[in-house]
Chain A
Amino acid sequence: MLTINVNGQDREFDGDPNTPLLWFVRDELALTGTKFGCGAGLCGACTVHVDDVASRSCLTTVGEAAGKRVTTIEGLSADGSHPVQKAWRELNVPQCGFCQAGQIMQAASLLTRNRAPSDGEIVEEMAGNICRCGCYQRIHAAVRLAAGGV
């Protein structure tokens, strides 16, 4: 039996420890804000925080997350008031919205480490997150806005 702290709550898992964290949070915990986009670490739709660091939940196994703190989009803030979430709304970033949980989690992780990222640092951090709708211009602007404080 493995114990993983998800959004502040200890959750137990007794299946295959190689199960990707993605499917644990989606199928077992019904936390469906974390998305499946590629299953191979190529798109970032599944991004969560493991001990505050952005991680691809499609590649991170439940075994690796055991004993750690996992934060999904549902747990980033109680009411959507994280500066990144606010910046996203301020600039009307999303189109279809499917990639945005992953984008927001990635951006939040960046800002935890680096309060004032340069344009190049934003690009480097966010280049792993695909937005097929093409919201990059606004994503970039929203990260800057969040860094400045909304």
Chain B
Amino acid sequence: MYHYLEKAARAQGRKIGSEALIENVSRRSFIGGVLKTSGVVLALQVIPGGVADAFEAYPTGAAGMPRGVVNDPHVFVAIDTHGLVTIVGHRSEMGTGVRTSLPMVVADEMEADWSRVRVIQAPGDEPRYGNQDTDGSRSVRHFIQPMRECGAAMRYMLEAAAAATWGVDQALCKAKNHHVVLLKEGKTKGETVETGTRIGFGELAKAAMSLPVPPREKLAFKKPEDFLYIGKGKTPIVDLHDITVGAAVYGADVRLPGMKYAVIARPPVVGGKVKKFDAAEALKVPGVEAVHEIEGFPPPAKFAPLGGIAVVAKSTYAAMQGREALTIEWNDGRHAGYTSTSYREEMVATARKPGKVIRNQGDPDAAFAGAAEVFSAEYSQDHMAQAAMEPPAALARIVDGKIEVWAPAQSPYGTREDIAKALEVPIENVTVHVTLLGGGFGRKSKCDFVLEAVQLSKKLGGAPVMLQWTREDDLQHAFYHTTSVERIEAALDKSGKVVGWRHRTVAPSILSTFAEDSGYQFNIEYGMGFVDMPFEIPNIRCENGQAFAHTRIGWFRSVSNIPRAFAVQSFVAELAHKLGRDPKDMLIELIGSDRKIDPKAAGMPEDFWNYGEPYPEFPIDTARLKNVVNVAAEKAGWGKTLPPGQGLGIAVHRSFVTYVAMVVHAEIDDKGIIRVPQVTAAIDCGLYINPERIRSQIEGAAVMGMSTALYSRITFKEGRVEQSNFSDFEVARMSNFPQKVNVHIIEPTAPAHYPTGVGEPGVPPFAPALCNAVFAATGKRLRSLPAGDRIDA
């Protein structure tokens, strides 16, 4: 284990503090002397730790993830003789802070001094570390338990090693701040006090590490009041300094001797192929060394490359120049007719017809037939690209049949598996080093760019090659957020009560990237704010209309929750307006009584997807849903009178088993531009680890929500993406962003309020809250995203 980490650290170009374990003989003999003179310790009765511990094991969806979880300190922790503790971060860091948060949990449980902890990044190796697919806002949700177990086991082993060193009962050895301290009986029976004798973790390292890992029932977990780092928000991210001095290493920053740089010209239409090409001019560009055709695979091809012509050069710039000089004729293939404007019309028409019934509760047909009035609205959204600031880039080389890549991979083991499969080599011959990710948002779960680099290195006889995507490549060859039409109808009785609810969703599915396209979505998409709609309405029907994909559809931070929250939460405010009600009161009333929704009784499908989590532990809890609404409303001063041209809007959404409500304060400035002076958010994510990073995630989610609501769109014309760079794929800038985001984190009030997820759930409520605020300010209803930032008077 020790050797392994050392090797891993070297591979990352850093040195472990001490190269070897050195016996510290003089210190040992000193300790022995102390024991001889005190001489009483073995007879003491001490209350064993752990009895009063509240941390009971509970099931999570981690068990259903490939290779589950690992909690072995031999895998995650190393301690050198100087006491430097190395903890492995095995999830990918893309800005959520997970590379800090999970190691921090280990450090807390093992009583390590964080200033003497160093984090190293695991390569893609799930059999060793457990699941590494950093996605679905589930790193903390799935790994809080194994990381606590890992830290507690490490602490146990250190205490056992100290007990052996001192020749005392282990119950008298207590880890504290990077040492194990020796206890003795205090004045009252059962009470212990410190003797003043202690040994540092460094001295105990070798002995502790040679011990077997204790079973869980032997572990004593810390009580929340004893946490050093968990829940405190005082621990900056481990990469903070490196980021501010330009030393943090991202995908394109790894350098190998003799490495080449490459870019690829890809087919402008998905599934297109090179008909013929001429590389003569490209090869004349100084610095260009080679031009190779890359094999492409039409969808459904999972993450396989699109194909095209690669230009390899001495520098990135030369490769780009070479690509400019290529002449390529393409066969566009069967998606050349994809045009967003007409596709939208088709989706709207589909949404107006009955679709495949996915959820049915009560008798919606009767409810609508007998309704005093039916109110309906349609909401739509264009495609979006994830557009992380770091465009995809990966470095690959092949030495003696061994493939090695460095990549900003969200799913490093999945990447490794795909490389092994694509090149038909055993997985042991593939190594995936994980760099920092300059943003992921779902894009870097898809390893097409890594596969391209590997394919290219192979063509170059294994030479190291850095494959760089340009921003144009990133926007024009993404796995796009779906485009959608959501139609909602409400049946109202004479008193204005909602007695029936019909929601039709029409959107090309992510499934089309993986399997033959049926035009229908699947349970994961249905589970994101569609069939899990939490309102207490007697008659509910959710239908899915067919829409075939003509580009690669992928996931984007919070996925289908974006259009669903937009539709449902806008619709509630529209209903409230129609009925002359307060939108917040209407929302609370629709959510209804305090209950944990019974999916079966609510007519949800058999394969209802609860973010992969077991339902009893992570139910749809309407009390928690209403609570975030009430907290956000109260903190925002809901109901206060605002000057003309300003308004408040509210929205709530449960996603990734987390509850988030937002109140957006919108203001229309004198130029007619929508501005957001303030956002008030309430988030219930259960037991929280790093509140400071939770705040930053919600602040960022509001900004991304602003981009989504007002600016960002990808459209197609004859199969080709119409946008090319940040000039026409717009994102929120400092010139217009939510100025102030106040985040209220709900304290967990029950042990069963387990950690849930934070990376994604902040995005969905923003757009509807903003659009509701714009309506409150202007009376104008925005039903199509992106709406643009200008309200014309």
Determine, out of B123-131, B193-201, B499-507, B735-743, the stretch whose residues face the partner at the interface.
B735-743
Q: Which residues of B contact A31 (CB under 8 A)?
A: 246
Residue in B248, B436, B733, B741 whose CB lies within 8 Å of A137: B741
B240 in contact with A137 (CB, 8 Å): no
B700 in contact with A35 (CB, 8 Å): no
Closest to B317 in A: A23
Cα distance, A27 to B439, chains bound together (Å): 22
Residue in A85, A92, A122, A132 whose CB lies within 8 Å of B387: A132
A45 in contact with B389 (CB, 8 Å): yes
A131 at the interface (CB under 8 A from B): yes
In chain A, positions 91-124 with a C-beta closer than 8 Å to chain B are 92, 94-101, 104, 122-124
B322 at the interface (CB under 8 A from A): no
Cα distance, A23 to B263, chains bound together (Å): 14
B471 in contact with A96 (CB, 8 Å): no
Given contacts A40-B727, A88-B244, A130-B731, contact A98 B704 (CB under 8 A): no
Give the number of A-B contacts (CB < 8 Å): 186
Residue in A36, A40, A133 whose CB lies within 8 Å of B316: A36
B388 in contact with A96 (CB, 8 Å): yes
Tell me the minimal C-beta distance from A21 to chain B in angstroms: 10
Given contacts A132-B731, A135-B699, contact A97 B438 (CB under 8 A): yes
A15 in contact with B389 (CB, 8 Å): no
Tell me the minimal C-beta distance from A88 to chain B in angstroms: 5
Given contacts A28-B315, A127-B733, contact A94 B389 (CB under 8 A): no
Given contacts A94-B237, A127-B735, contact A80 B245 (CB under 8 A): yes
Residue in A37, A80, A127 whose CB lies within 8 Å of B734: A127
Cα distance, A52 to B437, chains bound together (Å): 29
Cα distance, A74 to B151, chains bound together (Å): 36
Tell me the minimal C-beta distance from A76 to chain B in angstroms: 8
Chain A 31-68: CB-based contact to B (< 8 A → 1; otherwise 0): 11111111110110100000000000000000000000
Cα distance, A19 to B440, chains bound together (Å): 29
A32 in contact with B249 (CB, 8 Å): yes
A148 at the interface (CB under 8 A from B): no
Given contacts A36-B468, A130-B733, A132-B731, contact A95 B700 (CB under 8 A): yes
Cα distance, A80 to B247, chains bound together (Å): 10
A134 in contact with B246 (CB, 8 Å): no
Cα distance, A45 to B495, chains bound together (Å): 57
Q: Which residues of B contact A130 (CB under 8 A)?
A: 389, 726, 731, 733
Q: Which residues of B contact A77 (CB under 8 A)?
A: 245
B337 at the interface (CB under 8 A from A): no
Tell me the minimal C-beta distance from A2 to chain B in angstroms: 15
Tell me the minimal C-beta distance from A62 to chain B in angstroms: 10
Closest to A22 in B: B317
Given contacts A38-B726, A85-B244, contact A134 B388 (CB under 8 A): no
A26 at the interface (CB under 8 A from B): yes
Cα distance, A12 to B99, chains bound together (Å): 39
B470 in contact with A132 (CB, 8 Å): no
Given contacts A34-B246, A140-B734, contact A89 B240 (CB under 8 A): yes
B701 in contact with A134 (CB, 8 Å): yes
Closest to B728 in A: A42
Q: Which residues of B contact A131 (CB under 8 A)?
A: 389, 703
Q: Which residues of B contact A85 (CB under 8 A)?
A: 244-245
B536 at the interface (CB under 8 A from A): no
A30 at the interface (CB under 8 A from B): yes
Closest to A95 in B: B95
A132 in contact with B255 (CB, 8 Å): no
B287 in contact with A43 (CB, 8 Å): no
Given contacts A15-B286, A133-B95, A134-B701, contact A96 B317 (CB under 8 A): no
A96 in contact with B734 (CB, 8 Å): no
B295 at the interface (CB under 8 A from A): no
- What is the total number of residues of chain A having a CB less than 8 Å from a CB of chain B? 60
Tell me the minimal C-beta distance from B384 to chain A in angstroms: 12
Given contacts A27-B261, A132-B387, contact A89 B246 (CB under 8 A): no
Closest to A94 in B: B243
Given contacts A43-B726, A133-B700, contact A96 B255 (CB under 8 A): no
B726 in contact with A42 (CB, 8 Å): yes
B317 in contact with A19 (CB, 8 Å): yes
B699 in contact with A138 (CB, 8 Å): yes
Cα distance, A94 to B245, chains bound together (Å): 12
B389 in contact with A92 (CB, 8 Å): no
Max chain A CB contacts within 10 Å: which of B245, B316, B436?
A: B245
B166 at the interface (CB under 8 A from A): no
B165 at the interface (CB under 8 A from A): no
Tell me the minimal C-beta distance from A105 to chain B in angstroms: 9
B94 at the interface (CB under 8 A from A): yes
Closest to A124 in B: B735
Tell me the minimal C-beta distance from B743 to chain A in angstroms: 11
Residue in A19, A40, A101, A124 whose CB lies within 8 Å of B246: A101
Tell me the minimal C-beta distance from A14 to chain B in angstroms: 11
Q: Which residues of B contact A101 (CB under 8 A)?
A: 243, 246
Residue in A16, A23, A38, A89 whose CB lies within 8 Å of B725: A38
B59 at the interface (CB under 8 A from A): no
In chain B, positions 400-426 with a C-beta closer than 8 Å to chain A are none
Given contacts A89-B236, A96-B437, contact A134 B391 (CB under 8 A): no
A123 in contact with B734 (CB, 8 Å): yes
A92 in contact with B237 (CB, 8 Å): yes
Q: Which residues of B contact A95 (CB under 8 A)?
A: 95-97, 439, 696-697, 700
Residue in B250, B701, B740 whose CB lies within 8 Å of A98: B250
Q: Which residues of A contact B244 (CB under 8 A)?
A: 80, 85, 88-89, 94, 100, 104
Residues of A within 8 A of B (CB): 15-16, 19-20, 23, 26-28, 30-40, 42-43, 45, 72-74, 76-77, 79-80, 85, 88-89, 92, 94-101, 104, 122-124, 126-140
The 9 closest A-B pairs by CB, nearest first: A33-B246, A134-B703, A98-B438, A96-B95, A73-B246, A134-B700, A95-B95, A97-B243, A32-B253
Residues of B within 8 A of A (CB): 93-97, 236-237, 239-241, 243-250, 252-253, 255, 261, 286-287, 314-317, 320, 387-391, 436-441, 468, 470-471, 692, 696-697, 699-704, 725-727, 731-735, 737-741
List 10 other contacts, CB 8 Å, given A27-B316, A95-B700. A15-B286, A35-B438, A72-B246, A89-B244, A92-B696, A96-B94, A96-B437, A130-B389, A136-B703, A140-B734
